[in-house]
A and B are shown apart, each in its own frame.
Chain A
Amino acid sequence: MKKFLALLLSLVMVLSLAACGGGKGDEAPAATDDPANTEEPAAKTVKVGLICIGDENDQGYTYNFIRGKEAATEALAAKGIQVEWNVKYNINEDSGCADANIELAEEGCDLIINNSYGFEPFMLQVVDDYPDIQFISCTNQGSWNDGRDNTHNAFANIYEGRYLAGVVAGMKMQEMIDNGEITADQAVIGYVGAFSFAEVISGFTAYYLGAKSVCPSATMKVQFVGSWSNATEEGNAAAALADMGCVMISQHSDNTTPATTAQSKGVFHTGYNNDMISVAPEASLIGTRIDWSHYFEYAIEAVANGEEFDQDWCHGMDMGAVVLTDLNEDIAAAGTAEKLAEVEAALADGSLQVFDTSTFTIGGQPLTNAFALDTDGDFTPDAEEAVFDGAFHESYFQSAPYFALQIDGIEWLNSAF
């Protein structure tokens, strides 16, 4: 009994000692923290929340958002607007996203950006409780026309970037044909897609049309992996496509494994979200990505000035919201840079349409009509004719892509997803 008391007493002493030690240790970091917090307040400070599906280590999707965030912060600082960011990483597309939105709203954010498609329904559960806070769902489509004033959608015309990347790929394949390395029918592109989802379909169709515009014999095989981000499966799909004879690999998925696989299989590759030349210098020709900084700058500035901003925002090459990463001059076909500049100019002035209906057929027939939007909630488009003036107008009626047609020349190896 005595021993027990002694033990208890000594335990208490040790603990209190540790507590004191801990207390002293606290002072130092607190002191260094203070100056940061009491930084002279700028004219305008906006508190912005950003909810991310991953973190910057993915070197892809979320990393691209973080780049946009940093560039926007700098640009806004030049305009005298300070942005205080609150970023939540690795949030899943489930009720955890609703919790993250509540959390950021309660922390006093003026604007909350949700970076993944699947966040939207959970974000919309929360928005009515915070009418003074603006909510943005990137890449989705249910916020801009839901009758609320504080919900927004945003996307970029990434199909323009895809088309240009396709031009680079097509030129490379045409060069290989001209040099006798492959025959004309061997110009096969392998595409690693996440899901058979409009955004993906629109992207690979634009890519294919870009390639076909400079390499008329090009065909494409698409393999869906059933995940937005699964490094192993993406690599496996790329390997399978290369083994089937594809000489060019591209992807709509988050990882760099298709690029590295393409290199190890001795075929070429064009990337998405990030410059992949560093991981696959002998395979990666070019990449395309969305530059979110322009939208962030626009939206945050509006919030700082107490102004309204577009509920559905979509821009592309016209203002640099879609950019190409550096061209790998060492392996790209000769004259690629000049051709790119030419096509870019044509896209910008509207003389070239990506989904020009004279350039593709569906079941052997030209496309004459296709609806863009679904208004009755059955997930089949039923309103707004997208085909006019000789082209399918993508991202015209809303920012989220709606081209979900299967055109000739593209073979879906699986469509279970």
Chain B
Amino acid sequence: MHEQKIPLIRLAKRDSMEPWKVWCIRGSSFLAAILLGALIFLLMGNNPIAAYGTILSGSLGKKTAIRQTVKLAIPLLGTALAIAPCFKMRFWNIGAEGQITAGAMAASYFALFWYDKLPAPLLLLVMGVAGAAAGGLWALIPAFFKARWNTNETLFTLMMNYIIIGIVKWLQGGPWEGRPGSQMIPMFDSAAVLPKIFGVHCGWIIVLVMTVLMYIYMRHTKHGYEIAVIGESENTARYAGMNVGRIIMRTMFLSGGICGVVGFIVASGANGTLYDGVAAGVGFTAITVAWLAQLNPFAMIGISGLLAVLEKGADTLQTRMAVPASISDIITGIFLFCMLGCEFFINYRMIFRGKHKEVA
């Protein structure tokens, strides 16, 4: 009688797991992803081993390939760093996409209209600062509403994306348009383009420095502590005398500011111009990067690198083996699904019906 009411599988939170077991689960989920991906390749009539080989050689096989892969990883890492403090605070900033665009737009203004008035290093500095300020302000709007009227930040930040993307679209076809009717903003003057170091624009140095700074900020500063407390419990924070609204706004400004710097890096370093798709979905992919890295800045380097390898490799896969681009998206999706999914098994255990004594 009693037995029948119990569902077949129940879930229970795990207390903690030994690290080696955790890594076993992660390793096997990675392996499962590889095998599932191989199955897709087989179904498509491609040799999975050759396909994975192509992904690796296409993304890491040559100096030029590595450069392209690094170029893809830069905005992912930068944006994941940006949203980490927000997520730590349990403030769901889905607006990185728009904050990147806002930063790119502000930086582009100086690139387009000030390039002949300032020396190149100063121009780039001004562009970076303008990008940070614009991204920060764009993020501050939803933060203010959240702090003041407790609006839903997920929807608010998401909608802010469409507004700023619309503004850039208007600039593209309106005041900043180059050839009439072309819908394209002219390319930046070379003074407004980030210099290259080892063949990749120097944005990679900027994001690596930011990684270290973010680690220190989150782990070893009072601000970082406040963010962590609010994330655990807003009431505790309030009880401890923290000004929660102020901290929310400050953290969002920082987050948006970093996104804005990423926007500047992408527009100036990689694109050499501004267009409405400047963020290219990075704002959303970075959420996955941040979660997979469990908000650890150094782990983000690895995760964003892995995603960049998959993306660049998939591109080569399409070129060499004529695998449709959508297949590579499926493969990336499988990897993310398995990697995120395994965290579930690390945090929860399954209890099967009829099993009273629990193991593992």
Contacts and interface: CB of A to CB of B under 8 A. Distances in A.
Contacts of B173: 195, 226, 416-417
A43 B146 CA distance: 70
A109 B357 CA distance: 65
Nearest to A120: B184
A102 B320 contact: no
Nearest to B51: A26
Contacts of A86: 319
Interface in A262-277: none
B65 interface: yes
Nearest to A12: B28
Contacts of A99: 68, 315
A104 B319 contact: yes
Nearest to A201: B181
A404 to B, nearest CB: 7
B68 A379 contact: no
Nearest to B38: A22
Contacts of A30: 47, 50
Kindly state the interface size class of chain A when it binds its partner. 35 or more
Contacts of A3: 359-360
Contacts of B325: 89-90
Interface in B292-320: 315-316, 318-320
B32 A8 contact: no
A19 B48 CA distance: 10
B35 A197 contact: no
Identify which of B65, B173, B181 gathers the most chain A CB atoms within 10 Å of its CB: B181
A165 interface: no
B47 A19 contact: no
A94 B45 contact: no
User: Interface size bucket, B side?
Assistant: 35 or more
B318 A11 contact: no
Contacts of A15: 28, 31-32, 35
B270 A200 contact: no
Contacts of B181: 195-198, 200-201, 404, 417
Contacts of A22: 35, 38-39, 42, 48-49
B354 to A, nearest CB: 15
A197 B180 contact: yes
Contacts of A29: 45-47
Contacts of B359: 1-4
A92 interface: yes
Nearest to A89: B325
B110 interface: no
B341 interface: no
A318 B100 CA distance: 50
B56 to A, nearest CB: 15
B182 interface: yes
Contacts of B50: 26, 30
What are the nearest 4 A-B pairs in CB distance? A197-B181, A195-B181, A95-B271, A4-B360
Interface of B: 21, 24, 28, 31-32, 35, 38-39, 42, 45-50, 62, 64-65, 68, 173, 178-184, 186-187, 266, 270-273, 275, 277-278, 280, 315-316, 318-320, 325, 359-360
Given A95-B270, A106-B62, A197-B181, 15 more contacts: A2-B359, A8-B24, A8-B28, A22-B39, A26-B48, A93-B184, A95-B272, A96-B280, A118-B182, A118-B183, A195-B183, A200-B181, A379-B178, A379-B179, A404-B181
Interface of A: 1-4, 7-8, 11-12, 15, 18-19, 22-23, 25-26, 29-30, 33, 86, 88-90, 92-96, 99-100, 102-104, 106-107, 117-118, 121, 124-125, 195-198, 200-201, 226, 379, 404, 416-417
30 contacts: A2-B359, A3-B360, A4-B360, A12-B28, A15-B35, A22-B38, A22-B39, A25-B42, A26-B48, A30-B47, A86-B319, A90-B325, A92-B277, A93-B184, A93-B275, A94-B271, A94-B277, A95-B272, A103-B319, A106-B65, A117-B182, A118-B184, A121-B187, A121-B273, A124-B187, A125-B272, A196-B181, A226-B173, A404-B180, A417-B181
